[in-house]
Amino acid sequence: MNKQLVHIKGTKAGLVLRLDDQCAYAELVEELERKVLEGGIDGKVDVQLHLGNRYLLSAQQKELIAIVEGPGNMHVSKVHSDVITIEESNEKVLTDQSETYIGIIRSGQIVKTDGNIVVIGDVNPNGKIEAGGSIYVLGNLKGIAHAGVNGNKEAIVVASHFEPTHVLIDDQIEVMSNEKPFVKENADQIFAYINRDGIISYERVQEVRKIRPLLSTIKGGS
């Protein structure tokens, strides 16, 4: 064998194992086992697996992780691959995209989406929006808003007039009938998010850039 199938590289964050993506899987496993055993590393170290253009089933991924973690002094922190399946890609497209709903969500109506949603119109009492991502309402939010339904704690709820009966983000529920002077006084243009303590809190929309900078998908203004 004249070509190395497993490259080991040390970085600040630990070791990076770059695995060849052209050889057969069996060969790779064999080589990896050998490299791991000869290793001779002292103490615990974090390892990242870079798979390149190889797609691995989750069972195969587990097998590789088990091999690396076998001797006991290495811990796989991340598995990185340049390829994903069409299914994963479609899912990502759905959760990342923004849908636009123009109209009024009235009592008894539910609007659902996998990604973010922009509502141009009102959400009336007893009307409900459910989004996998964030909810942006250009109008009066007087109904129920549930953002991050599939466990996205980063999601936020924004409204030009923020007066909902219930706000839900992921599995957190907030019933707005409780006295909230901040929300009442600043009903125009505030947003809801899950803070570091895991509970829903409110800030002026100008603070989104500090609290959720990663929601921005575009940089500019220069």
Partner 1 sequence: MGVAIVITSGKGGVGKTTTTANLGTALALQGKKVCLVDTDIGLRNLDLVLGLDNRIIYDLVDVVEGRCKIHQALVKDKRVDEKLFLLPAAQTTDKNAVNPEQMKSLVDELKREYDYVLIDCPAGIEQGYKNAVAGADRAIVVTTPEISAVRDADRIIGLLEQENIEPPKLIINRIRKDLMKTGDALDINEITTHLSVDLLGIVIDSEDVISSSNKGEPIVMDPNSKASLGYRNIARRILGESVPLMSIEDNSKGMFKKFISIFSK
Q: How far is the CB of 86 from partner 1 (least distance, A)?
A: 34
120 contacts partner 1 (rule: CB under 8 A): no
Considering only the stretches 3-11, 107-115, 160-168, 200-208, report the one whose residues sit in contact with partner 1 under the rule CB under 8 A. 107-115
Residues 18-47 that bind partner 1 (CB under 8 A): none
- Look-up of token digits 């088990």: 66
Given the complex with partner 1, which of 21 and 163 has the nearer CB atom?
163
Considering only the stretches 51-59, 63-71, 124-132, 188-196, report the one whose residues sit in contact with partner 1 under the rule CB under 8 A. 124-132
Given the complex with partner 1, which of 68 and 141 has the nearer CB atom?
141
Q: Within the chain, how many helices (H) and strands (E) appear?
A: 5, 15
Which of 73, 95, 126, 160 binds partner 1 (CB under 8 A)? It is 126
112 contacts partner 1 (rule: CB under 8 A): no
CB 115 within 8 A of CB 132: yes
Q: How far is the CB of 100 from partner 1 (least distance, A)?
A: 17
DSSP category for residue 3: S
Considering only the stretches 11-19, 83-91, 123-131, 161-169, report the one whose residues sit in contact with partner 1 under the rule CB under 8 A. 123-131
188 contacts partner 1 (rule: CB under 8 A): no
Question: In the sheet where 14-19 sits, what is the strand order?
Answer: 6-11, 14-19, 45-50, 74-80
Given the complex with partner 1, which of 107 and 206 has the nearer CB atom?
107
160 contacts partner 1 (rule: CB under 8 A): no
Question: In the sheet where 128-131 sits, what is the strand order?
Answer: 110-113, 128-131, 144-147, 166-169, 172-175
- Look-up of token digits 């340049």: 82
Q: How far is the CB of 188 from partner 1 (least distance, A)?
A: 16
Which of 4, 90, 107, 150 binds partner 1 (CB under 8 A)? It is 107
What DSSP assignment string belongs to 65-110? HHHHHTTSSEEEEEEE-S---HHHHHHHHHHH-EEEEES-B-TT-E
DSSP-derived 3-state class of residue 35: helix
* Residue from 158, 161, 157, 155 nearest 142 by CA: 161
How distant, in Å, are the alpha carbons of 22, 106, 132, 153, 192 from that of 117?
42, 16, 9, 16, 15
Considering only the stretches 45-53, 56-64, 68-76, 103-111, report the one whose residues sit in contact with partner 1 under the rule CB under 8 A. 103-111
Site for partner 1, rule CB under 8 A: 103-109, 121-122, 124-127
